[in-house]
Chain A
Amino acid sequence: MVESEFAQLKERFDYLSARQSVDHSAVDCPADKLVEFCTVLRDSLGFDLLVDVTAVDWDAQSPRFTGIYHLLSTTKHEYLRIAADCEDDIKPSLPSLCGVFAAANWHERETYDLMGIYYDGHPDLRRILMWDEYPYHPLRKDFPLAGIEVPLPADDVAEATGVAVSPAPMMGGPFVSSADGPMSQTEPSARDESWTEQEEKPTE
C-alpha cells in the first residue's frame, strides 16, 4: 500500500495511527475498533485473508501486550499489519475476530494458550498446543526458558506415579544468548534457570 492509500484510510478511520515498519504498511488500531475496522478491510478494501495473529509481550512496559494481525489481499497482493494494545496488563484482552475471519479461531486459541491474551467473544477459547489444565502462558517474558514444574495432565496418573512435568535440565547448557545488556551477558552461555514463577529470580 502506498502513502496515499494510508492517508485515505486515515481519513476514513480517524482512530488509526501509522506504525513503524520496515516492510509492509502498518497501523495502530484501538482494541475496541478492531472488529469494525477488519470488517471494512475485508468487505470493501480486499484484505480477505487473515494470515497470522500473534501478540508481543513488552515485559516492563505498559501497555505490556500488543496483539498483532497480518492481513493479505488475495487480489491486490498487499500485506497489512494491524497492532492493537491490550489495556489491562494483568488480564489482557482483545476482541475476537472469529466473526470476521474463521481462521482467527485457532490463531486466537494459540495466542491465548501461549501468551495469555483473552479474546472476548471467542466461541471456544481453550488451549490448543499445551494441555487444558496447564497453568502458565509460556511465551510471556517472565516464564523461564527451562519451564516450571507442573503436575501431569491426568490426575489419576499423577497420583499413582507421583511423576510431574519437570523443568528441562539447563545447568551446563544449552548455550543461550539474551537480547540486550553488556557483551559479557549477551555471549552465548549456560544460564542457571532453576528459578520459577514462584521462586524469585536470583539477583546478581
Chain B
Amino acid sequence: MATTTKEISIGDLGARSSAHESELQGETMALNVGPSHPTTHGVLRLKMQLDGDVVKSCDPVLGYLHRGDEKIAENMTYNQFVPYTDRLDYLAPLANNVAYAMAVEKLAKLEVPERCEAIRVLCCELARVSSHLLGVGVYGMDAGAWTVFMYTFTEREKLYTLFEELTGARFTTSYTRIGGVARDIPDGWLGRVLEFCKGVLPVLDQVDKLLTRNRIFMDRTVGIGAISKEDAITYGLTGPNLRASGIDLDLRKDKPYLGYEKFDFEVPVGTTGDCYDRYLMRAEEIRQSVNIIRQCIDQFPEGSYYAEDAKKIFAPQKAKVLTSMEELIQNFMIVTEGPQIPAGEVYFEAENPKGALGFFIVSKGGGVPYRLKIRGPSFCNLSILNKLIPGHYLTDITVILGSLDFVMGECDR
C-alpha cells in the first residue's frame, strides 16, 4: 500500500509568536473586588487594573456604609449621640464610647473621678483585646489558616459575655455618658475579667505556635505590603499600622489620658512595616492590654463612677429623681436640653484598636454640638491603598487588606 506524505507548513514560528506577544503585551484587565466580598471585611470596593497576575493600579471606592453620622450629630444632644459611636468601629464599641465622651468632657473641662477612669481603662483595653483577637483570627483565615479563628473567636465570645454583664448589650454597648458611665460595674465582675485574662494568655501562646513560625503563613506575609516610615507618616497612618513601620507613637504613652501614665506597659514597634510585622504588633498588643487590665484591677479605686459635681451634665440617679425635687428638675433639664457644654472648639484623639479615633467638636454652648467631625482611623489607614497595592500579585491583596485591619463603619461614617 502506497503511502502518501503531506507536508504541513507551520510558517515562521518566531514571527508568529512575536506578533502574538505584542497582542498580549500592554493589555490589562479590569477587575472589580467588592463591595460585598469576604476579602474586603465589609463594604470596601476596589477597582483594579491587572496585567496578568500583577496589579497595575488600584482605586478604592468608599461610601457604601455612609450614614451621615456627622450630620445626625448636629441634630441631637450630646448623650443621644453615644449609640451612634457604637457603629463607628463596631468591633470595639466600648473604646469609641469612651473616646467620644472624653472629647466632650475635654470641651467642658470636666474631670471624672478615678473610679470612672479605671472603668474606662478597662473598657478600652477589653475592647482592644476583643478587636485584636478578631483581627488576628481573621487574618489567619485571610492567609489560609482556619484553625486560629476558631480559637480566638471562642475567647472573644467570653469577652462579649463580660460586656453584656457590664453594659446590658453584647455588641452595641452605648456604655458611657458625658461625665461618667451608664452604671457601676456589677458585683464580682472584676474577678471574672481576671479569669478571662488567665484564660486568654494560653490561647495566645497557641495562636503563636500556629502562626508566628508557620512556614506557609510567613511565606504569605513576610515582605508583602511593606510600608516605609516616610509613607506611613505622610499618609497619616495611626495605631498598630504606623507602629509596624517603626514609628513609636502610641497616644496612651505620648499623650496620656485616663491615667495611662500610671500603668507599666510596652509599646511594640516593628521594623519593616510588612504584613507580618502588622500581625506581630496586634498579637503583642493583646498581651500588653492584659497586662494593663491586671494592673488596673489590682488597684481598682473606690468612689463614684460619675462626676457628681457636674449637675448640668450628668443626669442624677433614678432613685433620687423620684424622691427629690432638685434632682427631678436636674434630670428634666438634662433630658430635654442635653448636657450643658460651654462654647469652644476641641479636638481629642484616643488610641483605639484600629488607630487614633478623633473627634473635633465645635460648640456654641448648650446641649447640641454645632459641628462634630469624626476622624476615623480606618479612613486614613486605607488612603495608602492607591500607593501600596500596585505591584503586588492579586493573591496578595487579601493578605494586605487583612493586615491593615480596617472597619468600614468608621471609614464611611
Which residues does chain B contribute within 8 Å of A130, judged by CB atoms? 63, 66
What CA separation (Å) do A138 and B71 show in the bound complex? 8
Q: Say yes or no for B118: interface residue by CB 8 A criterion.
A: no
Q: Say yes or no for A68: interface residue by CB 8 A criterion.
A: yes
For chain B residues 328-380, which have a beta carbon within 8 Å of chain A?
A: 336-338, 344-349, 356, 358, 360, 362, 364-371, 373, 375, 379-380
Give chain A nearest CB distance to B142 CB in angstroms.
Answer: 24
Which residues does chain B contribute within 8 Å of A139, judged by CB atoms? 70-71
Contact between A20 and B345, CB atoms less than 8 A apart: yes
What CA separation (Å) do A128 and B80 show in the bound complex? 27
Contact with A along B244-258 (1 / 0, CB 8 A): 000101000011000
Contact between B366 and A179, CB atoms less than 8 A apart: yes
Q: Say yes or no for B285: interface residue by CB 8 A criterion.
A: no
Give chain B nearest CB distance to A93 CB in angstroms.
Answer: 19
- Complex interface: stretch among A98-106, A159-167, A194-202: A98-106
- Complex interface: stretch among B165-173, B213-221, B229-237, B294-302: B229-237
Known contacts A49-B236, A106-B379, A178-B368: A74-B349 contact under CB 8 Å:
no
Give chain B nearest CB distance to A108 CB in angstroms.
Answer: 11
* In-complex Cβ contact of B236 among A51, A145, A179, A180 (8 A): A51
Contact between A128 and B75, CB atoms less than 8 A apart: no
Contact between A129 and B412, CB atoms less than 8 A apart: yes
Contact between A187 and B71, CB atoms less than 8 A apart: no
Which residues does chain A contribute within 8 Å of B367, judged by CB atoms? 177, 186
Known contacts A51-B358, A138-B71, A186-B337: A101-B236 contact under CB 8 Å:
yes
Contact between A177 and B77, CB atoms less than 8 A apart: yes
Contact between B375 and A51, CB atoms less than 8 A apart: yes
Q: Say yes or no for B203: interface residue by CB 8 A criterion.
A: no
Chain B residue, CB-CB nearest to A104: B236
Give chain A nearest CB distance to B85 CB in angstroms.
Answer: 16
* In-complex Cβ contact of A70 among B71, B336, B358, B382 (8 A): B358
For chain A residues 26-70, which have a beta carbon within 8 Å of chain B?
A: 26, 48-52, 54, 56-57, 68, 70
Known contacts A139-B71, A145-B71: A79-B364 contact under CB 8 Å:
no
Contact between A179 and B368, CB atoms less than 8 A apart: yes
Q: Say yes or no for A176: interface residue by CB 8 A criterion.
A: yes
Chain A residue, CB-CB nearest to B384: A102
Contact between A176 and B387, CB atoms less than 8 A apart: no
Q: Say yes or no for B68: interface residue by CB 8 A criterion.
A: yes
Size category of the A interface is 35 or more
Contact between B370 and A52, CB atoms less than 8 A apart: no
The A interface, classified by DSSP as helix, strand, loop or mixed, is loop
For chain B residues 43-99, which have a beta carbon within 8 Å of chain A?
A: 62-63, 66, 68, 70-72, 74-77, 80
Known contacts A177-B367, A179-B370, A183-B337: A74-B233 contact under CB 8 Å:
yes
Q: Say yes or no for B311: interface residue by CB 8 A criterion.
A: no
Contact between A186 and B366, CB atoms less than 8 A apart: yes
What CA separation (Å) do A203 and B185 show in the bound complex? 49
* In-complex Cβ contact of A79 among B74, B76, B347 (8 A): B347
Q: Say yes or no for A24: interface residue by CB 8 A criterion.
A: yes
Which residues does chain B contribute within 8 Å of A114, judged by CB atoms? 70
Give chain A nearest CB distance to B370 CB in angstroms.
Answer: 5
Contact between A128 and B63, CB atoms less than 8 A apart: yes
Q: Say yes or no for B106: interface residue by CB 8 A criterion.
A: yes
Which residues does chain B contribute within 8 Å of A13, judged by CB atoms? none
Which residues does chain B contribute within 8 Å of A105, judged by CB atoms? 383
Contact between A176 and B255, CB atoms less than 8 A apart: no
Q: Say yes or no for A122: interface residue by CB 8 A criterion.
A: no
Q: Say yes or no for A12: interface residue by CB 8 A criterion.
A: no
Contact between B362 and A101, CB atoms less than 8 A apart: no
For chain A residues 128-143, which have a beta carbon within 8 Å of chain B?
A: 128-131, 138-139, 143
Contact between B346 and A103, CB atoms less than 8 A apart: no
Contact between B70 and A145, CB atoms less than 8 A apart: no
Contact between B380 and A106, CB atoms less than 8 A apart: yes
Contact between A131 and B63, CB atoms less than 8 A apart: yes
Which residues does chain A contribute within 8 Å of B369, judged by CB atoms? 179
* In-complex Cβ contact of B75 among A26, A101, A129, A177 (8 A): A177
Q: Say yes or no for B283: interface residue by CB 8 A criterion.
A: no
Known contacts A105-B383, A180-B366: A22-B345 contact under CB 8 Å:
yes
Which residues does chain A contribute within 8 Å of B364, judged by CB atoms? 179-180
Which residues does chain B contribute within 8 Å of A21, judged by CB atoms? 344-346
Give chain B nearest CB distance to A191 CB in angstroms.
Answer: 8
Contact between B375 and A52, CB atoms less than 8 A apart: yes
For chain A residues 87-140, which have a beta carbon within 8 Å of chain B?
A: 101-103, 105-107, 110, 114, 127-131, 138-139
Q: Say yes or no for A14: interface residue by CB 8 A criterion.
A: no
Q: Say yes or no for B109: interface residue by CB 8 A criterion.
A: yes
30 examples of A-B residue contacts, CB within 8 angstroms: A20-B345, A21-B345, A23-B346, A48-B233, A51-B358, A51-B380, A52-B347, A70-B375, A81-B347, A103-B380, A106-B380, A106-B382, A106-B383, A107-B236, A114-B70, A128-B62, A129-B62, A129-B412, A131-B63, A139-B70, A143-B71, A177-B75, A177-B76, A177-B337, A179-B74, A179-B364, A179-B368, A183-B336, A188-B80, A188-B336
* New A-B pairs, 19, CB < 8 Å, besides A23-B346, A177-B337: A20-B345, A21-B345, A23-B348, A51-B349, A51-B358, A52-B375, A56-B370, A101-B236, A102-B384, A127-B63, A129-B412, A138-B71, A176-B75, A177-B75, A179-B369, A179-B370, A180-B364, A187-B336, A188-B77
B interface, CB within 8 angstroms of A: 62-63, 66, 68, 70-72, 74-77, 80, 106-107, 109, 231, 233-236, 238, 247, 249, 254-255, 336-338, 344-349, 356, 358, 360, 362, 364-371, 373, 375, 379-380, 382-384, 387, 412-413
